[in-house]
Amino acid sequence: MIAYSLAESTSVVASTIGFDLGALRDGFWTLTIQGLAYGSIYALVAVGYTLVYGVLRLINFAHSEVFMLGMFGQYIGLMLLGFRPQGDVWSEGTLMTIAYLLLAGLIGMAVSGTTAVGLEFVAYRPLRKRNAKPLAFLITAIGMSFVLQEFVHYVLPKVPTDPRLGGSSPQPAIKLVQPTEQFTVFGASVTNVILIIVIAAIGLAVGVDFLINRTRLGRGIRSVAQDPEAALLMGVSRERIIMVTFLIGGLLAGAAALLYTLHVPSNVVYYGGFILGIKAFCAAVLGGIGNVRGALLGGLLLGVMENYGSVVFGNQWKDVVAFALLILVLMFRPTGILGEKLGKARV
Amino acid sequence: MTNSDPTVPVAAAAPRRGVGDAIRSWWDRQSRPAQWGVGVVAFAALALLPVLDPPLISTTATDFGATMAQFAMVALIAIGLNVVVGQAGLLDLGYVGFYAVGAYVVALLTSPASPVWNSVDHGIFSGPWAWLACIPLAIVITGITGVILGTPTLRVRGDYLAIVTLGFGEIVRLLADNLKEVTNGPAGLQGVLFPELGTSADKPDGVFSVQNNDRINSGIWWYWLALLLVVIVLLFVGNLERSRVGRSWIAIREDEDAAEIMGVPTFKYKLWAFVIGAGIGGLSGAVYAGQVQYVDPKAFTVINSMLFLCAVVIGGQGNKLGVIVGAFIIVYIPARVQGIEVGGQSLGDFKYLFFGLALVALMIFRPQGLFPARARLITFGRQVYAAAQRVGDAARRDPGPPGEGGDPVVGAQKEVTS
Amino acid sequence: MTHRFPDDPREPARPVWQPPGTGSGADGVADGIHQVVESPTEQVAEVLADPLATTVVDPVAIDPALADPELVAEVVAPQRDIVTAEGDALLQVRDLTVEFGGLAALSDVSFDIRRGEILGLIGPNGAGKTTCFNAITGVYTPTRGTVSFDGEPLRKLKRHKITRKGIARTFQNVRLWGEMTALENVCVGTDARHKTSVWGATFRTPRHYREERDAVDRGMALLEFVGIAARATEKAANLPYGDQRRLEIARALATEPKLLCLDEPAAGFNPSEKSALMGLIKKIRDDGYTVLLIEHDMRLVMGVTDRIVVLEFGRKIAEGTPREVRDNPAVIAAYLGVPDDEIV
């Protein structure tokens, strides 16, 4: 009887996983374009995870909250610029729109950058000074993640603003840009929102890659990531590099927050960063943790795969796709796509 | 032990002793019957607490019995999570997922709203023994989930395990929310069955039903049941601790590679820790389902995982009794202050914020928690340690001149015989 | 196959585990790790309880068979069914090559470790000693070449299985489990030979009790053997450095190895401690273990080893008795260099 009910429930669960390849074929290019847009956002957030991991061997769980606070930052920025949830800005022309976007984005980036650096100072540096075990870092990271979430959830609403910031429900959306189709690619429509996202992301990605690979600062980061002691002997200040790493990750997350809110204006809420952070981390692992180009590639790949999965398996399984991909990567190629195989040492 | 004053250092060789050590050495000096006596009295006091309902301690805004029942369930969770995090050193951030699976197994099998329930003849899963019959199934299924989750992820670094389990915890809630055909979605499953004991004319459903609102209400009955389960689980976990399994877990936690090189099959034991933790979480979920008699996805948010982790960290990682105290703290304090309002918000709502901060502060200032783990990891620990301690004390009392090869221990042994 | 111990003219019969200070050995420490096996824990506790006791536990009185050292060895280490005969090659390294990327840390190294000997592995810094050591103990997988142990090749076995095969090691930087006591550290080593399952441990089967007794007995005996029994209940992290190193050796011995590999065991010791260590290593060999030793201290290596293998730049440049190696011009050149006028 038990076996029968188990079989029943398994078949019920299985039946909810529709396997619809036809829908994938029909909407392929739309899905791909959409996926690239989401993927760009994942990519920018993933760089933050991968940089901190490379330098500290630590998964900064609270990075998702850095992103979330970036969203609130740009929302505040827009409010300071005079925008309110009703009304759209596109009527004022492209140039002004871009100017407002940049300003709001800068405020968002400032907030998230400050959060990231604050995290390092308040939570991680004291632990490093005390030679804490790696487990302690992870526990602190998750603790800070939820502290930041709950701060926005319960404390921020006490600040008198109009409209109320924080709280249990998402902020009423401030729509900056009306998604209008600019052109089509193989029948898939490319809106101005998607264009802005992809172009901005490409610009930032190129900038970060240049920073890491061609500048002195980037060399410092790479050297500390490879061998902190040797870097120290070469005159590289480890603590300063760590702070800069967090800052870069935070700034990128702030930019990603702006782009995300353009696409999905109604998700500015205290839990808005959580799932996205997990997915971005999956993207970083997919591409090869510690590898910046890997994070970018992984983000794009994840965005696209997730979108495909949502039509092939059904929308309720969308978030599971990233998770399943992560498990597959961990099982078969833990170093990721662009990751290098370290020496055969097992110690 | 040779010096009864805990604040004066015994000798250069012995470490400074604090209050905790003084209590512990007092406890160790008691004979077995005395220890049992103290334990039984303390247990009885704890069990009777909600019945007596003392005014200062009792919670004002919520039912004290229900709060204590919740404490006992979280204590179960804390013990299970302690095995995974505290002993084996595996950071599981999605423990609430196992809790949810256990609760849903019971709900799916016994609730009239369950799609599964409706499609089969329920046999043993209806009627007074339904809940009890579900318990082993809940434990086993949750354990299997643990195996499925652990097998791919325990082979890689611990950090990945943390994020995978975090994702798992959230995914379980999302699935419960979205798979309406299976779990009835956000509407939840009501009418979950419970043990129908103590039925009488005015209590047709027994003392465990939510209808029971006497002085000894259903909350208190569930509290006693959960306490019983806590004791049983403690016995099993204690057995494991004082065996090769417990030793291997601590070795894995301290230095996994050295453990592997010393012959410990690390993957096997990590998986066992994970599965045992999962099973205990599932048990607690089953108790929860029976007590509240309604299961919906809102109760299983991932932030509760952080709270459970908090219980383990505050209480003392690796200390199975300490984490019970941690569970009490995270359940009782928010319930006690629930009535007090600050800025229009009940203080109890701030618990996540407060305990998150506590977690961070603890990791910096007192990572070992309130009660650091000092468990003996050998079965005959008591006798052996007492005897070995006497040898050591004798050597320390008369440290002879350095013997051959500069070995002070050898010298001490020489000295002792002369 | 029975074990044969090297003939020792000093004493005909091995003393059994005795309370500290009452042994016939000059230093008061047990001379061997043989122990009485009848009702062990009560005896252990009784003996531990009264260190001043003058009663000597006489094994022969309890079981006459225990007068035979070979039999005792069978009892003490029943898992050590060594196929290789005394004097034959226990570990064979053939054409061992380990490459990391393009760098060859070891090239075509071949040598044998014979059963019952102490073999030293020396060479200047960067010679590849640690790499060779790690390849033998299963930490690195060789790029080419084979390592055969006790007649079987060591393929890609999991490390804990290699330990069960009979290779144990210590670490250059002591890697004890600091939160556990010394006795518990050694007990984890004994667990390598135990068969209790998780179910057995949960439900306390008779086998579990048997093996726990065995763990404690052998654990205490081993601590006694290396000389730190008085500190059995102290946390490993609190032990002084010398005792930590001894504890590591005891823990490695607890896994009942056929081959004991010591990685720079004398690092950080002063001369008198090094002498004590030499005595301990000899004692270990006399008890029937084979020892592989990496060491920088020449006096220790020359004084304690039976044979030496010398590596330089990943290749073997000499092999032989200490005297032969000491006089070998290639070895001298490797360590001290050649006079300028002799450079080709």
A219-245 mean pLDDT? 88
pLDDT at residue number C88? 78
CA angle, C288 then C294 then C299, to 5°:
90
> Residue C6 carries which DSSP code?
P
In order of B83, B254, C202, C238, the CA distances from B86 in angstroms are 6, 11, 18, 21
Chain A residues in contact with C141 by the CB 8 A cut-off are 344
In whole numbers, what is the pLDDT of chain A averaged over residues? 84
Strands C259-263 and C290-294: parallel
Res C2: pLDDT: 29
Among A199-203, B213-217, C164-168, C283-287, the minimum mean pLDDT is found in B213-217
Q: Are residues B336 and B386 in the same domain?
A: no
Return the pLDDT at C74: 47
Residues 65-124 (C) with a CB less than 8 A from some CB of B: none
Contact C212 B379 (CB under 8 A): yes
For residue C124, is the peptide bond before it cis, meaning its omega torsion is within 30 degrees of 0?
no
Chain A nearest-CA residue for C171: A347
The predicted structure's pLDDT at residue C78:
45
Where does the pLDDT of residue B19 fall: very low under 50, low under 70, confident under 90, or very high at 90 and above?
low
**CA-to-CA distance for A6 and C7, rounded, in angstroms?**
68
Of B338-342, C34-38, C121-125, C329-333, the least confident: C34-38
For residue A346, give how far its alpha carbon lies from the nearest alpha carbon of chain C (Å): 5
Q: Compute the average pLDDT of residues A71-85.
A: 84
What whole-number distance in Å separates Cα of residue B269 and Cα of residue B36?
32
Is the pLDDT at B195 greater than 80, yes or no? no
Structure tokens at B177: 């929310």
Partner-chain residue, chosen from C163, C183, C203, that has the shortest CB–CB distance to B262: C163
Does residue B230 sit within a domain?
yes
Same domain, B262 and B393: no
Report how far residue C239's alpha carbon sits from residue C251's, in angstroms, rounded to the nearest whole number: 15
Nearest residue of B to residue C208, measured between CA atoms: B243
Domain that holds residue B411: 380-417
- A278 contacts on B by Cβ (under 8 Å): 163, 166-167, 170
Residue B7 covered by a domain: no
Q: Average pLDDT, stretch A307-316? A: 84
Same domain, B290 and B391: no
Residue C7 has pLDDT above 50, yes or no: no
Distance from CA of A7 to the nearest CA of C (A): 29
**C28 has a pLDDT exceeding 70:** no
User: Does residue B33 belong to any structural domain of this protein?
Assistant: no
What is the CA angle B334-B339-B340, rounded to 5?
Answer: 90
To the nearest whole angstrom, how far is the Cα of A286 from the nearest Cα of chain B? 12
Q: Which residues of chain A does B353 touch, with a Cβ-Cβ cutoff of 8 Å?
A: 146-147, 150-151, 153-155
Do B99 and B145 lie in one domain? The reply is yes
| Gap from A150 CA to chain B (nearest CA, Å) | 5
- What does the pLDDT average to over B139-161? 87
Beta-carbon separation of A134 and B360 below 8 A: no
Please name the amino acid found at residue C300.
L
Confidence of residue A8 (pLDDT cuts 50, 70, 90): low
Write out pLDDT tens, residues C271-310. Answer: 888 888 998 998 888 888 899 999 888 888 888 999 999 9
Q: Is the pLDDT of residue A254 over 80?
A: yes
For residue B175, how many other CB atoms are within 10 A of its CB?
21
Q: What mean pLDDT do residues C41-66 have? A: 47
Residue B283: band (very low, low, confident or very high) from pLDDT cuts 50, 70, 90: very high
**How do strand C307-312 and strand C118-122 relate by DSSP bridges?**
parallel
Task: Specify whether B360 is located in the same domain as B391.
Answer: no
| pLDDT tens-place string over residues A293-308 | 899 999 999 999 999 8
With beta carbons under 8 A apart, name residues in chain A contacting C137: none
Element (H, E) at C46: helix C40-49
- Chain C: closest CA distance from residue A2 (Å): 25
User: What are A296's two structure tokens?
Assistant: 């970018």
The string over A215-239, giving b where at least 16 C-beta atoms fall within 10 Å of a residue's C-beta and e elsewhere, is: eeebebbbbbbeebeebeeeebebe
- Side chain identity at B205, as an amino acid letter? D
B304: Cβ contacts below 8 Å, ≥ 6 apart: B96, B99
- What's the Rg (C-alpha) of chain B? 24
Contact A143 B357 (CB under 8 A): yes
Neighbours of B172 (CB within 10 A): 22
CB contact under 8 A, B359 and A139: yes
User: Same domain, yes or no, for B257 and B396?
Assistant: no
Type of residue at B366: R
Q: Which of C198, C216, C235, C262 to mutate to test the interface with B (most CBs of B within 10 A)?
A: C198
Buried/exposed C75-111: b ≥16 CB within 10 Å, e otherwise = ebbeebebebebeebbbbbbebbbbeeeebbbbebeb
Together in a domain, B162 and B214: yes
Tell me whether residues C208 and B405 touch, CB distance under 8 A.
no
Residue A55 pLDDT > 70, yes or no? yes
**How far apart, in Å, do the first and last CA atoms of chain B sit?**
24
- Would residue B9 count as lying in a domain? no
Q: Between C45 and B203, whose confidence is greater?
A: B203
Identify the CATH number of the domain in which residue B88 sits: 1.10.3470
Instruction: Taking each helix axis as running N to C, give the angle between helix B64-81 and helix B32-52, from 0 to 180 degrees, rounded to the nearest 10.
Output: 140
Rounded to a whole number, what is the distance in angstroms from the first to the last CA of chain C? Answer: 54
Question: DSSP code of B82?
Answer: I
Nearest CA in chain B to C186: B262
pLDDT above 70 as % of chain A = 90
pLDDT tens digits for range A130-185: 988 888 999 999 999 999 999 999 888 888 877 778 888 888 888 777 777 878 87
Instruction: Look at residue B1 and tell me if it is in a domain.
Output: no
* B31 part of a folded domain: no
* C141 contacts A343? CB cut-off 8 A: no
Same domain, B118 and B259: yes
For residue B264, what is the nearest residue in chain C, using CA coordinates? C160
Return the residue in B163, B184, B330 with the most chain A beta carbons within 10 A, the one to mutate for interface testing: B163
Q: Would you call B201 exposed, middle or buried from its count of C-beta atoms within 10 A (0-12, 13-18, 19+)?
A: exposed
Indicate whether B345 and B391 sit together in one domain. Answer: no
The mean pLDDT of B141-166, rounded to a whole number, is 87
- pLDDT of the residue at C236: 92
Residue C33 in this model has a pLDDT that exceeds 50: no
pLDDT (average), residues B409-418 = 33
Neighbours of chain B (3+ CB pairs under 8 A): A, C
Q: Is the pLDDT of residue C134 over 70?
A: yes
Give the total number of structural domains in chain B: 2
Report the half-sphere exposure of A290 (CA within 13 A, side-chain side).
17
**Which residues of chain B are within 8 Å of residue C279 when distances are taken between CB atoms?**
405
Name every chain C residue with its beta carbon within 8 A of the beta carbon of B373.
179
Chain C, 195 to 214: residues with Cβ < 8 Å from chain B are 196, 198, 201-204, 208-209, 211-213
- Chain B CB contacts of C184 under 8 Å are 247, 250, 377-378
CA C225, CA C27: separation in Å to the nearest integer?
A: 11
Q: How far apart are the first and last CA of chain A?
A: 49
Q: Chain B partners of A142 at a C-beta cutoff of 8 Å?
A: 93, 162, 166, 306, 309, 359
pLDDT on residue B126: 66
Q: In the structure, how many helices (H) and strands (E) does chain A have? A: 14, 2
What's residue C11's pLDDT? 33
* Model confidence at C44: pLDDT above 80: no
Whether residues B315 and B397 fall in one domain? no
The whole-number pLDDT of residue C59 equals 46
Q: Which domains does chain C have, with CATH numbers?
A: 37-58+82-166+260-344 (3.40.50.300)
Q: For residue A131, list chain C residues with Cβ-Cβ distance below 8 A.
A: none
ipTM of the complex: 0.84
- Of B372, B388, B407, the last residue of a domain is B372
Query: Is B108 a domain residue?
Result: yes
Between CA B316 and CA B328 the distance in angstroms is 13
Cβ–Cβ gap C227/B410 under 8 Å: yes
Task: Please list every residue in chain B whose beta carbon sits closer than 8 Å to the beta carbon of residue C44.
Answer: 384, 387
Instruction: Specify the residue for token string 């008795």.
Output: C321
State the best of C103, C134, C173 to mutate against chain A, taking most chain A CBs within 10 Å.
C134
Average pLDDT over residues B303-332: 92
Q: Please report whether residue B12 resides in a domain.
A: no
Chains in contact with chain A (at least 3 beta-carbon pairs closer than 8 A): B, C
**pLDDT exceeds cutoff 50 at B302:** yes
pTM: 0.82
Kindly list the residues from chain A whose CB atom is less than 8 angstroms away from the CB atom of residue C139.
345-347
Q: Which residues contact C295 (CB under 8 A, 6 or more apart)?
A: C120, C122, C262, C264, C265, C266, C301
Q: B214 and B164, same structural domain?
A: yes
- Chain-wide mean pLDDT for chain B? 80
